[in-house]
Structure 1
């Protein structure tokens, strides 16, 4: 595991609503962040994203399972996100597996997350979740 990925993974996994000032230690001012639901440019936009995340969800925790530096300044984190949201899954805990593809120099300047958006959101909405579960069963 590279020293950078270790430091980043530890810093990222310990973020919470009270420590978002540390985002500037992890990410460059011109960071480009993308996941299946969002595309953000710049550290202020990324901070706003995390502020909203921590304001709406509870018991947020990332378990980092693996890191892999595939080239100098490029690598992956494999993780599981655990959280609760009052409007999803009846407020019960949700776990989501995913990975992050990172590019860095001294800080991360490109961060792209890969995860199943349905498993994050749509499967936990009443009625819609049942329809998605039925469709997944039919396609399996």
Structure 2
């Protein structure tokens, strides 16, 4: 078992501000918070995106804000190892077309030596919490799911 690692203070400060950014995205992006907390070659990966650099990441987040009303992330837990922080969260929001949207997920955040985030990778079940909600694709996914489920 590895000993409990001391979290670098600059990484902890960055983490707190970064998590706050996601509950104030529009304002935070306008104020350049993303650029202050992340390395210039930040990589952002989620079930829909895989982009690198401040501008592409900001564009993904602006697209998110444009299509989801009142986005809110509730932080449940965080755990550190080396220069990586794992953050469990629950998302709540309102899709412009699709109603309430709520799901659990986890973010993997890698920090560089300066305490800036260099990788943000989100892990959540887009099949269950997004694609299954779509009218035609959702029907197909639910049908496939029923066909491959083990029935007791």
TM-score (normalised: structure 1): 0.84
Partner of 2:42: 31
Task: Give yes or no for contact 1:78–1:100 (8 Å, CA) kept in 2.
Answer: yes
2:95 equivalent to 1:85: yes
Match of 1:56 among 60, 67, 73: 67
Count matched residues.
136
Task: Give yes or no for contact 1:84–1:93 (8 Å, CA) kept in 2.
Answer: yes
Structure 2 distance, partners of 1:50, 1:10, is 13
Instruction: Give the deviation of 1:9 after TM superposition.
Output: 5.5
RMSD (CA atoms): 2.1
Identify unmatched segments of 5+ residues in structure 2: 1-5
2:128 equivalent to 1:126: no
Identify unmatched segments of 5+ residues in structure 1: none
Instruction: Give the deviation of 1:68 after TM superposition.
Output: 0.3
Instruction: Give the deviation of 1:67 after TM superposition.
Output: 0.3
The structure-2 alpha-carbon separation of the partners of 1:98 and 1:139, relative to structure 1 and needing over 3 Å to count, comes to same
The structure-2 alpha-carbon separation of the partners of 1:12 and 1:19, relative to structure 1 and needing over 3 Å to count, comes to closer
TM-score (normalised: structure 2): 0.78
